[in-house]
Chain A
Amino acid sequence: AQSVAQPEDQVNVAEGNPLTVKCTYSVSGNPYLFWYVQYPNRGLQFLLKYITGDNLVKGSYGFEAEFNKSQTSFHLKKPSALVSDSALYFCAVRDTGQGNLIFGKGTKLSVKP
């Protein structure tokens, strides 16, 4: 069965510093991986996805993610964090059998000025 794990419940970063939010996955076959962001009292918003191709995927709001097959990881990154990036971030994998998304538990990102 497909699954993703987000090992950190919370990540704290100072504004202007680089940020990384970690995600590892377990799939049979080729992974379809996603990152979503959730702001308070809002639904999830799509940031980026990896299906095939370059291991470095660029997405919305300056975010990017690095796919690493040998480490089964898909970490979310941003070179310079903004206070407005503070939110809940979800990694997800597409269930190749059914087509639905399976989400991780989420990581709360807190960016301090």
Chain B
Amino acid sequence: DAGVIQSPRHEVTEMGQEVTLRCKPISGHNSLFWYRQTMMRGLELLIYFNNNVPIDDSGMPEDRFSAKMPNASFSTLKIQPSEPRDSAVYFCASRQGDSPLHFGNGTRLTVT
């Protein structure tokens, strides 16, 4: 079991650029979550999918953020255009049914 795989681990980009974060959930898991972690706000749920369908995207900050899950083994979180306040660690997590969440190691995003 390779766990939840996120790429890239680190991303540095300039304000205004498009950023795409990627996640491969654990095989067989049917729910996928995107969280954002900052010192000021802690862990915030951005969006989550169940069986590839978005269930709750109320945490997505604004229209600049979008997430997709085209199949059970891949999801993306896109920010366009990026802003310095988007700098954070973005985590993807997955689970099967009611099992505990398994987190990836995160993508540290820095927007200058």
A and B: partners? yes
A98 within 8 A of B: yes
Cβ 8 A contact of A46, one of B4, B43, B55, B101: B101
Cβ 8 A contact of A49, one of B42, B50, B100: B100
Q: How many residues of A contact B (CB 8 A)?
A: 19
* 28 A-B pairs (CB sep. < 8 Å): A34-B100, A36-B101, A41-B105, A42-B105, A43-B4, A43-B93, A43-B103, A43-B104, A43-B106, A44-B43, A44-B91, A44-B93, A44-B103, A46-B100, A46-B101, A90-B43, A98-B56, A99-B31, A99-B50, A99-B55, A100-B33, A100-B45, A100-B48, A101-B101, A102-B45, A103-B42, A103-B43, A106-B42
Interface residues on B, range: 10 to 19
Give bound CA distance, A102 to B35, whole Å.
10
Could you list which residues of chain B lie within 8 angstroms of chain A, going by C-beta atoms?
A: 4, 31, 33, 42-43, 45, 48, 50, 55-56, 91, 93, 100-106
Instruction: Provide the residues of chain B in CB contact with A34, threshold 8 Å.
Output: 100
Give bound CA distance, A88 to B110, whole Å.
22
Shortest C-beta distance, B86 to chain A (Å), equals 19
Taking CB as reference atom, which chain B residue is nearest A98?
A: B56
Cβ 8 A contact of B101, one of A44, A98, A105: A44
Q: Are A45 and B31 interface neighbours, CB within 8 A?
A: no
Instruction: Provide the residues of chain A in CB contact with B42, threshold 8 Å.
Output: 103-106
Shortest C-beta distance, B32 to chain A (Å), equals 11
Instruction: Provide the residues of chain B in CB contact with A42, threshold 8 Å.
Output: 105-106
